[in-house]
Amino acid sequence: MTVRVMFAGGGTGGHLYPGLAIARALVKLAPNVEPFFVGALRGIERDVLPKTEFDHLLLDLHPIYRQQPWRSWRTVRGFESAWRALARENRAHPPATVIGTGGYASGAALAFARTHGIQIQLQEQNSVPGITTRFFARRAAAVYLGYPEARAQLRPGAHTQLFDSGNPIEPPPVPLPSREQARVEWGFPAKGGQVLLAFGGSQGARPLNDAIASMLEAGLPSGRFLIWATGKGWYDAYAKYESPSVRVRPYLAPIQGAYAAADLALTRAGALTVAELCAWGIPSILVPLPTAAADHQRANARALQAAGAALMLEQSTLTATVLGDALTRLLSAPKQLSSMAELANSRGRPDAAERIATWVLTIAQLKSVDT
């Protein structure tokens, strides 16, 4: 007999992909579990979920319009229609538990579950908990924390269990791919020199792109190589920088080959990006997105910098000179770079999805194949 576990979250990849990772780990541990996803018609899940193996329901949900409150009538209307759709789904296939992974797509399903006596569990990706996690933490059976720093900012209920799980990601292969072979596959020398990996997510990050382009105009030092993902919308503007020492791509999917080749990464500070860098043991220069909700990217970057695994640069001061100086300082100090890599790896939780799945089964009183 199958048992349904509902995942509620989305809007962005950072709130969707953790649920997918946990769901796949759940199915491996307990094949009788049927993951079911609830998301928003407006979110990334609209494109991603139909390509997965999981059944799903997309609802006409809207975020809270903090800067344009007069538009919040759409939020209320969407919530009402979502409630009716969730009621129909619950009558047909009641879930054993609902796992909220954040974002505006998760609130309606979590509220419905609580109102109808269905257990809820939460997965929080960031060092600063989102509004959904903060609101529902007192009512949750469990909260799985991507950052241990988030624990101090929550008010759990008397029976809420908090787990420092790390963020669920696709783990690196074991053993790790050969760095020499990865370099060769990118067209770089197998040995000697250093490889910088730079990316700003699927949409790219223009401030990072502009700083990199200006740095390349001045000339990349001998022995330095660059793998640069510009973002799909920016590729045409920067493709001209392709050279024997520079690889320019619109997007890196899959990204494993780039991680395997990298000595240092330059990225935003999204929770899943940081989790992947730590799992691969890659030191980084992090440039937080200043407009991220609750400034969580800056908090993520500060946490990793405090741990000695990263250097944080502010977007407001990012120039070719600032970036070049930071790269030179790190790449010219192999001992520091090696220490940063070890400290990053020590924070990595490549088995987070499997660990969370095991806890989910226990807390929901479901049975895994090993019990």
Statement: residue 4 has pLDDT above 50: yes
Residues 191 and 277 placed together within one structural domain of the fold: yes
Residue position matching structure tokens 């090696």: 338
Say whether both 143 and 183 belong to one domain.
Answer: no
Asked if residue 231 lies in contact with residue 207, where contact means CB atoms within 8 angstroms, the answer is no
User: Is residue 18's pLDDT more than 90?
Assistant: yes
Please report whether residue 369 resides in a domain: no
Write the CATH number for 114.
3.40.50.2000
Mean of pLDDT values over 44-58: 94
Do 51 and 125 share a domain, yes or no? yes
Is the residue at 342 inside a domain? Answer: yes
Same domain, 11 and 152: yes
Distance CA 324, CA 89 (A): 54
Task: Please write the tens of the pLDDT for every residue from 223-238.
Answer: 999 999 998 889 999 9
Claim to verify: residue 162 and residue 304 sit in the same structural domain: no
Would residue 223 be called left, alpha or beta, if left means φ above 0 and alpha means ψ between -120 and 50 degrees? Answer: left
Lowest mean pLDDT among 78-82, 145-149, 328-332: 78-82
Specify if 368 maps to a domain. no
Same domain, 55 and 147: yes
Amino acid at 286: L
Is a pLDDT exceeding 50 seen at residue 76?
yes
pLDDT at residue 208, as a whole number = 95
Residue 50 inside a domain? The answer is yes
For residue 371, being part of any structural domain is answered with no
Q: Are 289 and 260 spatial neighbours (Cβ–Cβ below 8 Å)? A: no
Band of residue 370 on the pLDDT scale cut at 50, 70, 90? very low
Average pLDDT over residues 172-176: 89
pLDDT attached to residue 67: 60
Residue 204 clears pLDDT 70, i.e. is over it: yes
Of these ranges, 37-46, 184-193, 195-204, the one predicted with the greatest mean pLDDT is: 184-193
Residue 144 lies in a domain: yes
Write out the residue range of the structural domain in which residue 66 sits: 3-169+351-363
Q: Once rounded to an integer, what is the mean pLDDT over residues 87-92? A: 96
Q: What are the backbone dihedrals phi and psi of residue 121, each rounded to the nearest 5 degrees, phi first?
A: -130, 155
Whether 369 has a pLDDT exceeding 60, the answer reads no
Strand pairing report for 194-199 and 119-124: unpaired
My answer on whether 155 and 118 are in the same domain is yes
Residues 283-300 have pLDDT tens digits of 999 999 998 877 889 999
163 shares its domain with 183: no
In the chain, pLDDT over 90 holds for what percent of residues? 78
Cα-Cα-Cα-Cα dihedral sign, residues 246, 250, 251, 257: negative
Distance CA 274, CA 222 (A): 28
Residue given tokens 């946490």 in the structure block: 303
Give the side-chain half-sphere CA count within 13 A for 88: 7
pLDDT at 344: 96
Domains in the chain: how many in total?
A: 2
For 323-347, what is each residue's pLDDT tens digit?
A: 999 999 999 999 999 999 999 999 9
* pTM more than 0.75: yes
Residues 307 and 358 in one domain: no
Tell me whether residue 62 is in a domain: yes
pLDDT reported for residue 339: 98
Specify the pLDDT at position 368.
56
Which pLDDT score, from 0 to 100, does residue 359 have? 98
Higher-pLDDT residue of 281, 80 = 281
Going by pLDDT thresholds of 50, 70 and 90, the confidence category of residue 73 is: low
For residue 174, being part of any structural domain is answered with no
Same domain, 189 and 147: no
Q: What is residue 112's predicted lDDT score, i.e. its pLDDT?
A: 96
**In terms of domains, do 183 and 165 share one?**
no
Task: Please check whether residues 217 and 95 belong to one and the same domain.
Answer: no
Confidence of residue 81 (pLDDT cuts 50, 70, 90): confident
Query: What is the pLDDT at residue 6?
Result: 98
